[in-house]
Amino acid sequence: MLAEDPDTFLSDAQQYHRELLAHCYRMTGSLHDAEDLVQETYLRAWKSYARFEGRSSVRTWLHRIATNTCLTALEGRQRRPLPTGLGAPSSDPVAELVPRAEVPWLEPLPDDSDPSDIVGSRESVRLAFIAALQHLSPRQRAVLVLRDVLQWKAAEVAEAIGTSVPAVNSLLQRARAQLAAVGPSEESTLPAPDSPEAQELLTRYIAAFEEYDIDKLVTMFTEEAIWEMPPFVGWYQGGPAIGALIHHNCPAEKPGDMRLIPLTANGQSAAAMYMWDNDSGKHVPFQLHVLDIVDGAVAHVVAFLDNSDWAKFGLPESL
C-alpha cells in the first residue's frame, strides 16, 4: 500500500537506504559519490512521487531512479582504478613511492554492523569485483549489476535504462566477457570475515605489525600475493617484495609504533592501522587494509591511505 503523501513515503523508503548505497557504490566505486547519489535518488523520488503508479514495487522503482541517477553522474567521468588497474608492471619495493593525487581512486565500503544487511552476497561488494566493474562502461555496469546482482529480468532492465531487450542482452554479454577477463575467478571465493579461518589469520596479521615482525608477516602471504596502496601508483608482488617495501618505506621503527583495529570492509576482513606520532603523543590514522584471504593465507592487500572516511567505519580519531 502506498503512503498517502511524499514525505511519509520518503520516511518509509529509508528502509532501502543501505541497499541503494551498495547499488550506487557498485556503479561508482566511491563511497562519497554513492552517498550523494542516494540523496539525489530520494530527492528525485520525492519530486516524482505523484507520478508513481505502483506498477512495480517501491524498492524496484527506487533502484531504477538510482541507476539513472548514477548513469547521469558518470557521464564524462574517469573510472576509479586501483594501482593494479593502471596497466603498469609490479614495482621495485625499495624505489621511491610515487603518489598520484589527481587520480580518482577506488574507495572502500564500510560494512553494516549486521553482515546480513549486505545486499546480495559479499561477493557483490568485494573490492576485486568493484575494481573489475570499473573496466566496464557505465551502461554495461548498470546492466550487469541489475541482471546478475539484483536478478532483474532483461525486460525490467530495458525499461529502467530506456533501451530494448536485445540491447540489454548485448550489453550483458560484452560486460560478462570483459568481467571474466579482469575480475575475480569463481574459485577465489573468500571466507566470511567472521569465520574462524579469517579471524585467526587477521589476528596473526595484526600481531605481526604491532610487534614489528615483518619476517613473520612475510610468511603469511601467498607466493603471488599483491600489495597496493592508493594514492601511490606502485604495486608489489610476493611476500619478500612486500616485506622489503614495509622495511624500506614504513615510518614505524620499533614494536608498538603501529596499532591495528580489526574490522570488516567490502564484506572482507580488514584492519585500521594507526601510527605513532611524536608530535601529538598519540597513534593517529595511517592506513586501512582490506584483505583477500585464500586458503589460510593473505593473497591481496589494498592499504588505503585516505583516512577521511574513518568515522564512517566507526573508527576513533586517535588511540
Supply the pLDDT for residue 268.
94
Supply the pLDDT for residue 201.
97
Q: How many CA atoms lie within 13 A of 303 on its CB side?
A: 19
For residue 319 the three cell numbers come to 588511540
Supply the pLDDT for residue 260.
98
Cα–Cα nearest to 179, from 223, 229, 227, 124: 124
Residue at grid coordinates 572482507: 268
In angstroms, the Cα distances linking 12 to 2, 3, 16, 61, 76 are 10, 8, 9, 14, 34
The CATH number of 196-313, from 3.10.450.50, 3.40.50.10240, 3.40.50.2300, 3.40.50.300, is 3.10.450.50
Q: For the chain, what's the residue count?
A: 319
Cα–Cα nearest to 149, from 131, 125, 165: 125
Kindly report whether the global pTM for this prediction surpasses the value 0.85: yes
Supply the pLDDT for residue 4.
58
What tens digit of pLDDT does each residue of 194-220 get? 999 999 999 999 999 999 999 999 999
What tens digit of pLDDT does each residue of 59-115 get? 899 999 999 999 999 998 999 999 999 999 999 999 999 999 999 999 999 986 444
Q: How many angstroms separate the CA atoms of 289 and 302, rounded?
A: 6
Q: How many angstroms separate the CA atoms of 205 and 210, rounded?
A: 9
Q: List the domain boundaries for the chain.
A: 1-77, 196-313
Supply the pLDDT for residue 237.
97
Neighbours of 32 (CB within 10 A): 14
The CATH class that applies to domain 1-77 reads mainly alpha
pLDDT in tens, the chain (319 residues): 455 566 777 777 888 999 999 999 999 999 999 999 999 999 998 888 777 766 778 889 999 999 999 999 999 899 999 999 999 999 999 999 999 999 999 999 998 644 444 444 678 899 999 999 999 999 999 999 999 999 999 999 999 999 999 999 999 999 999 999 887 776 567 889 999 999 999 999 999 999 999 999 999 999 999 999 999 999 999 999 999 999 999 999 999 999 999 999 999 999 999 999 999 999 999 999 999 999 999 999 999 999 998 999 999 999 9
